[in-house]
Structure 1
């Protein structure tokens, strides 16, 4: 089971759908509705920290998960979750040179771990106004991907099974999103099945995946969160 920590993100269902399409059982819980001891009792095989509209300081249980469970359980942070990993281990989170919401970027990566088998560079969807200040990055975290302007797009712990991506693998405009998540699940010894085009779950009228992607590309001013 993968524990998906929801940082009050409107699109956490997209991550849950991708995990389901990979054949993975997922338990979604809000970031203020669980504690570390309860997580230990549930014994998740992996933890995914979702995007969200706030800052890492306001990400509920996420910093405690990073600090207290990082050595025990594989953790992947996405956007805000990525920032929360760095913040929890001592990095500063600062304003990005340019807020990017609903735009794709070319991402260069190291071709290992999360990025094994993915195009290099790859196209990735970004929604964030904040970023990791690389000058404050703790030595235990390495940079594994960057945007063309040099912004950190992925990190990985040198010893713990912990990694983060600033972009959104669950967006239909990100190349290899299923493959990236599958690579993470493999680190957690979870067998994943990459779906073919015929196996993708179609959205219902109440949960229109593609309409929501369009809304993400054209967000209202009130919906623009800082974290991602």
Structure 2
């Protein structure tokens, strides 16, 4: 089972739909409905941090939950605000980007690791954000996995834990290879999947 922390975002159920299409059982909980102990005790095989408005400091339990998951070696995947939360949880700084983007396609370059395994680089993906993890503030425990031409961070992963984030929206229908990114995370995290019936 996946525990998806909903940061009050309209994209949350697009993510749920994508995970469900791949056979994952998803339990959705709002970021202020549970405390960290409840979330860690839910029996999840992995945690997903949804997109959302605001900053990591305004994302309920997400910062503390990210650190608790790291301590317990529980996989985490963060999208948009979720990636920013991962960056800030481990000591990075989230800053306002020079360009506010809402539904803009971005050319994403990546290193082929983690969720980007087996995917072409660059690829096109949908961006909705005004904040980013500051490249100069990145702690040693995190590595950049994806970026824009100007160096803006579009993907991060922890060097020693299965904790990974993307700044763009793989669950947007306009993003390329979104299902495969999510499938790669599910495979890496060892999440139990139900058989998916082929569409007739």
TM over 0.5: yes
Which residue number in structure 2 is paired with residue 110 of structure 1?
A: 111
Structure 1 CA distance for aligned equivalents of residues 196 and 85 of structure 2: 30
Which residue number in structure 1 is paired with residue 54 of structure 2?
A: 54
The answer to whether the Cα contact below 8 Å between 1:63 and 1:84 also exists between their aligned partners in 2 is yes
2:68 is the alignment partner of 1:68:
yes
Which residue number in structure 2 is paired with residue 161 of structure 1?
A: 162
2:158 is the alignment partner of 1:181:
no
The answer to whether the Cα contact below 8 Å between 2:2 and 2:48 also exists between their aligned partners in 1 is yes
2:199 is the alignment partner of 1:199:
yes
Q: Structure 2-normalised TM-score?
A: 0.95
Q: Which has the larger radius of gyration?
A: 1
Structure 1 CA distance for aligned equivalents of residues 199 and 117 of structure 2: 23
Structure 1 CA distance for aligned equivalents of residues 18 and 62 of structure 2: 21
Structure 1 CA distance for aligned equivalents of residues 114 and 199 of structure 2: 25
Runs (4+) off by over 4 Å: 191-196
Q: Structure 1-normalised TM-score?
A: 0.83
Structure 2 CA distance for aligned equivalents of residues 44 and 98 of structure 1: 36
Q: Could you give the per-residue CA deviations for residues 172-211 of structure 1, whole angstroms, max 9, x where no partner exists? A: 1111111000110111112558989x739xxxxxxxxxxx
Between Structure 1 and Structure 2, how many residues are aligned?
A: 199
CA RMSD of aligned residues (A): 1.8
Which residue number in structure 2 is paired with residue 84 of structure 1?
A: 85
The answer to whether the Cα contact below 8 Å between 1:8 and 1:30 also exists between their aligned partners in 2 is yes
Which residue number in structure 1 is paired with residue 138 of structure 2?
A: 137
Structure 1 CA distance for aligned equivalents of residues 94 and 24 of structure 2: 31
Q: How far off is 1:54 after superposition?
A: 0.9
Q: Could you give the per-residue CA deviations for residues 23-69 of structure 1, whole angstroms, max 9, x where no partner exists? A: 10000000000112112221100100000011111010000111111
The answer to whether the Cα contact below 8 Å between 1:89 and 1:138 also exists between their aligned partners in 2 is yes
Unaligned runs of 5+ in 2: none
Structure 2 CA distance for aligned equivalents of residues 115 and 158 of structure 1: 15
